[in-house]
Amino acid sequence: MTAVLAIRDLSVAIRTDDGLAEVLDHATLEIARGEIVGVVGESGCGKSTLVRSVLGILPPAARVTEGSIRFDGVELTTLDARAMARDIRGRRIGFIPQDPYQAFNPVFRVGTQLLEVARWHGTGDQAADRARLIELLRQVQIPDPEGALARYPHQFSGGQRLRLRIAAAMLCRPDLIIADEPTTALDVTTQKQIIALLGALARESGTAMLFVTHDFGVVAELCDRVVVMYAGQTVECGASSVILDRPRHPYTRLLLDCHPDRAATLAGIPGSVPSVIAAPSGCRFHPRCPSASPVCSTALPPATVLGPDHEAACVLFGAGESHASA
Amino acid sequence: MNLIWLKFARDRSALTGLVIVALVALIALLAYQIAPYPEDAFSSDPMRRLRPPGAEHLLGTDSLGRDILSRVVLGTRIALGIALSVVTAAMAIGVPLGLVAGYFGGWRSEAVMRVTDVFLAVPQLILALALAQLLRPSLESAMAALILTYWPFFTRIVYAETQRLRHAMFVEALEGLGARPLRIMFLHILPNIASPIIVRATIGMGYAILTAAVLGFLGMGAPPPQPEWGLMVAESRDYLPDAWWFATFPGLAIFLVVFAFNLLGDGLRDIVDPRLRRSR
């Protein structure tokens, strides 16, 4: 398996007035070429920080304290900001931001903003860029692509704006697209259509995708594999079908029980995601975990291989074969 | 766009301001064509000194026999020239600083904003006077002083607005697709905050004209025989109250232009930021 993106033991800390916040704690994730990987977790689990670390757009107060991010053999954590902006962001990694309603500069025409992306990355040939963009707009099913370029963002619906953002992300034919909960702000029917479209486009072009969401329904429809995060730690990862059918980590199980389609009684998880300032020691889920034991607070358990393409980090499986890198 | 014009057209005081400002700008452009005695800017004629307003000299003549109407008309060029250069220069300093401070935050914003605070703490007129004294009184020193005291206002506005937009989703989208900071600041954030800058600039025009007149009056601005309004009022002091026209018309000119810029600025602000609507 050749990984287009490999994140290993990534820790990110943000300086705040109240102290150091460890937003990511040894997060680990791998995406093979052409694979769609979902990252799932409650709000505040560090999903967006993970995305920003890969893109190299962490806020100024944040630092990568440990670990590595390798993109197609290039180490991104040490790459300088200039090269990151010129060669990686937008060019080799496409980005679809969170809220399509707010994702365009309101004062410029859509065409100007989309073509700008190609221009920064120095493709040079403006006519070709334009033709490529119009072709993409057709693919993302924007009616009247030529006319759409001359319109302003507020003249499009949320779903259409998201389609436009998808086109922007795909413009430079990236190897990887990162989508940060792009459909959360949309209504369910639009969301369904766009998820289907996104999946088809990614498969067709062979682009790998990192899809952040908190919706297991989206994962089931779109993702090959899924990574479950809790408070900055990777707790379980594996093929979507495996995780959805046989979740092993207590957090994944509880999270899945919150999904109305799957659980007879909506359980919910008592408590809430802890503050990452002075986060619980060891496994960060232990204060809310029904199966917690005293050991849980002492150390972060290593990821245990539970089957082909299925790992979980929990002391419950400590007896199993331990992951080499942990 | 049409909506903005409609709103503006309904605001009678702002419209008045706009009309006066437009008229004044026209007068300034055509000053040498409009002024009945354009040579009176500098040359004097003692034979017709201190004539009251009449058919030959609509607004009378001054202590050196110069036509006051001509000098007031020629003075619009100086007043608008000062205002435009001061506001442009203050913007050129203040806006980029505000953008940088607001966008990057951290030590850059601390450094910029503390310096801004220092400049805001200096009394404007006193700094202007000190500078004029230091550099020898001239239009240039007055303008330098005005620029030095006015740029912090732009920095503060731009800083606040940039900070607000810094975390807008479209900025993140731009960053995520590889836009560099300078491009984001100047090509994307700046157009979004143009309106508060324009409002501040309009109000700044009135302020610059007024302060330049004050400096002229105190002998720290334009040197004689320039037809500068503040200077003209100063020269008239010895002839009051008999030659009332000497002081009145340059004074009225100052009043009208500053008033018009303030009306216009207030009106623009109401359109740009309805939350700050003035009570009437």
3-state secondary structure A17-29: CCEEEEEEEEEEE
Tell me: do A162 and A212 sit in the same domain: no
Tokens 């109000």 belong to which residue?
B203
pLDDT at B103: 94
Q: Is the dihedral of CA A71, A178, A180, A227 positive or negative?
A: negative
Token output for A82 = 């200039």
Tell me: do A83 and A125 sit in the same domain: no
Tell me: do A279 and A159 sit in the same domain: no
Which of B110, B167, B177 is the best mutation test for A, with the most CBs of A within 10 A?
B177
Cβ pair A23, A49 in contact under 8 A: yes
Q: Is A111 on the interface with B (CB under 8 A)?
A: no
Q: Which contiguous run of DSSP H or E holds residue A75?
A: strand A74-75
Provide the 3-class DSSP secondary structure of residue A322.
Answer: strand
Cβ pair A73, A13 in contact under 8 A: no
Confidence tier at A52 by pLDDT (50, 70, 90): very high
Cβ pair A125, A208 in contact under 8 A: no
Judge: A108–B191 Cβ closer than 8 Å, yes or no: yes
Q: Which residues in chain B are closer than 8 Å to A95, comparing Cβ atoms?
A: 173, 176-177
Q: Which contiguous run of DSSP H or E holds residue A39?
A: strand A36-40
Tell me: do A155 and A255 sit in the same domain: no
Catalogue all structural domains in chain B, each as residue range(s) with its CATH number: 23-32+59-276 (1.10.3720.10)
Q: Is the ipTM of this complex over 0.95?
A: no
Greater confidence (A132 vs B275) lies with A132
> Is A213 within the bounds of a domain?
yes
Is the per-residue pLDDT at A94 higher than 70?
Answer: yes
Q: Is the dihedral of CA A285, A291, A297, A302 positive or negative?
A: negative
Angle (deg, nearest 10), helices B194-217 and B124-135: 60
Structural domain total, chain A: 2
Tell me: do A281 and A200 sit in the same domain: yes
Which of A15, A51, A93, A105 is the best mutation test for B, with the most CBs of B within 10 A?
A105
Cα-trace Rg, chain B:
22
Q: Is A71 on the interface with B (CB under 8 A)?
A: no
DSSP A154: G
Find residue A69's DSSP bridge partners: A7
Tokens 């408590």 belong to which residue?
A271
Q: From the DSSP assignment, how many helices (H) and strands (E) are in chain B?
A: 13, 0
A106, closest residue in chain B (CA to CA): B192
Span A261-276, average pLDDT:
73
User: For the purposes of burial, counting CB atoms within 10 Å of the CB of B108, is it exposed (0-12), middle (13-18) or buried (19 or more)?
Assistant: middle
Greater confidence (B114 vs A299) lies with B114
**307-326 in A: which are within 8 Å (CB) of B?**
none
Tell me: do A266 and A209 sit in the same domain: yes
Q: Is A192 on the interface with B (CB under 8 A)?
A: no
From the CA of B103, how many Å to the nearest CA of chain A? 11
Token output for B156 = 């503060």
pLDDT at B113: 95
Q: CA dist A195 to A62, A185, B57, B172, Å? A: 32, 13, 80, 22
Span A14-28, average pLDDT:
88
A161, closest residue in chain B (CA to CA): B170
Tell me: do A69 and A39 sit in the same domain: yes
pLDDT at A321: 43
Tell me: do A19 and A166 sit in the same domain: no
Tell me: do A183 and A308 sit in the same domain: yes
Tell me: do A84 and A116 sit in the same domain: no
pLDDT at B3: 73
> Is A323 within the bounds of a domain?
no
> Is A322 within the bounds of a domain?
no
Q: Which of A120, A140, A171 is the last residue of a domain?
A: A171
Q: Is B172 on the interface with A (CB under 8 A)?
A: yes
Is the per-residue pLDDT at A326 higher than 90?
Answer: no
Cβ pair A252, A259 in contact under 8 A: no
Q: Is A182 on the interface with B (CB under 8 A)?
A: no
> Is A17 within the bounds of a domain?
yes
Q: Which residues in chain B are closer than 8 Å to A105, comparing Cβ atoms?
A: 170, 174, 188, 191-192
Alpha helices in A1-157 (DSSP H): 47-55, 81-83, 110-120, 126-139, 145-149
Judge: B172–A117 Cβ closer than 8 Å, yes or no: no
What is d(CA B224, CA A324) in angstroms, rounded to the nearest whole number?
88
Q: What is the CATH number of the domain that holds A284?
A: 3.40.50.300
Q: Which residues in chain B are closer than 8 Å to A49, comparing Cβ atoms?
A: none
Q: Which of A85, A97, A107 sits opposite B173 (nearest CB)?
A: A97
Find residue A303's DSSP bridge partners: A313
Span A112-127, average pLDDT:
83
From the CA of A212, how many Å to the nearest CA of chain B? 15
pLDDT at A266: 66
The parts of chain B modelled with pLDDT lower than 50 are 279-280
What is d(CA A73, CA A71) in angstroms, rounded to the nearest whole number?
5
Judge: A90–B183 Cβ closer than 8 Å, yes or no: no
Q: Is A121 on the interface with B (CB under 8 A)?
A: yes
Tell me: do A176 and A162 sit in the same domain: no
A113, closest residue in chain B (CA to CA): B174
> Is A258 within the bounds of a domain?
yes
Pairs across A and B, CB distance < 8 A: 70
Is the per-residue pLDDT at A325 higher than 50?
Answer: no
Tokens 């779903």 belong to which residue?
A159
Confidence tier at A322 by pLDDT (50, 70, 90): very low
> Is A15 within the bounds of a domain?
yes
pLDDT at A215: 87
> Is A326 within the bounds of a domain?
no
Tell me: do A47 and A138 sit in the same domain: no
Q: Which residues in chain B are closer than 8 Å to A117, comparing Cβ atoms?
A: 177-178
Judge: A117–B188 Cβ closer than 8 Å, yes or no: no
What is d(CA B46, CA A223) in angstroms, rounded to the nearest whole number?
94
Cβ pair A213, A39 in contact under 8 A: yes
> Is A324 within the bounds of a domain?
no
Q: How many residues does chain B have?
A: 280
What is d(CA A35, CA A153) in angstroms, rounded to the nearest whole number?
31
Domain of residue A163 covers 102-171
Confidence tier at A126 by pLDDT (50, 70, 90): confident
Rounded to the nearest integer, the mean pLDDT of chain A is 87
pLDDT at B279: 44
Span A73-100, average pLDDT:
90
Span A174-178, average pLDDT:
94
Q: Which of A121, A140, A171 is the last residue of a domain?
A: A171
Angular region, B199: left φ>0, alpha ψ -120 to 50, beta rest: alpha
Tokens 């110069």 belong to which residue?
B66
pLDDT at A186: 86
Q: Which of A141, A171, A201 is the last residue of a domain?
A: A171
Confidence tier at A76 by pLDDT (50, 70, 90): very high
Q: Which residues in chain B are closer than 8 Å to A55, comparing Cβ atoms?
A: 175-176
Cβ pair A305, A320 in contact under 8 A: yes
Is the per-residue pLDDT at A323 higher than 50?
Answer: no
pLDDT at A264: 64
Judge: B178–A91 Cβ closer than 8 Å, yes or no: yes
Find residue B15's DSSP bridge partners: none
